[in-house]
């Protein structure tokens, strides 16, 4: 089982950037916690952060045939990127969208996610713990997919 974690623009600035909104934790510390969960549950995990939309599109495409699930915080591209949405739609993998802040409590332009309709679910407003919730949720989703495939094989 392999999960790819994709982090959008400015998330490399966590711990420095608007601490009142995003908290003091650095991205690498969030990733260390996720790695710990992955190791305990025998899951392969890879991390990718980019400030560039096209690089995120490329990384999503690379997940095809390589990853079982995607956890993505598209950051500001959440509200603007049809390209990232289309890439997610193309690869058709179980995907969870994460936001540290509650995007629905903030400025109106953050209330719309172009990404959410092509995701299995969304976690918003739980801070860094949201990534842990996404790991638990993705594990459950992937186990369900595995069980459904096994049942299909049995029925054939």
Site residues for ligand DQA per CB under 6 A: 10, 73, 75-76, 78, 99-101, 103, 110
Catalytic residue among 31, 77, 99, 131: 99
What is the closest distance, in whole angstroms, from the C-beta atom of residue 106 to ligand DQA in the complex? 7
What is the closest distance, in whole angstroms, from the C-beta atom of residue 143 to ligand DQA in the complex? 26
C-beta closer to ligand DQA: residue 101 or 120:
101
C-beta closer to ligand DQA: residue 54 or 148:
54
Catalytic residue among 22, 31, 77, 131: 22
CB 8 within 8 A of CB 81: no
Asked about 131 being catalytic, the answer comes back as no
C-beta closer to ligand DQA: residue 115 or 142:
115
What is the closest distance, in whole angstroms, from the C-beta atom of residue 16 to ligand DQA in the complex? 13
Catalytic residue positions, numbered = 22, 99
């Amino acid at each position: 089982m392999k999960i790819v974690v994709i982090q959008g623009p400015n998330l490399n600035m966590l711990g420095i950037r608007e601490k009142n909104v995003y908290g003091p934790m650095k991205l690498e510390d969030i990733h260390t916690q996720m790695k710990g969960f992955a190791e305990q549950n025998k899951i392969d995990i890879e991390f990718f952060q980019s400030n560039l939309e096209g690089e995120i599109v490329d990384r999503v495409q690379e997940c095809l045939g390589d990853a079982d699930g995607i956890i993505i915080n598209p950051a500001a591209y959440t509200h603007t990127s049809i390209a990232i949405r289309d890439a997610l739609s193309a690869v058709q993998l179980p995907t969870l969208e994460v936001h540290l802040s509650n995007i629905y409590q903030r400025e109106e332009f953050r209330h719309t996610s172009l990404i959410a309709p092509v995701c299995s679910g969304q976690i918003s407003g739980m801070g860094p713990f949201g990534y842990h919730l996404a790991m638990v949720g993705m594990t459950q989703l992937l186990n369900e997919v595995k069980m459904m495939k096994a049942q299909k094989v049995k029925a054939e």
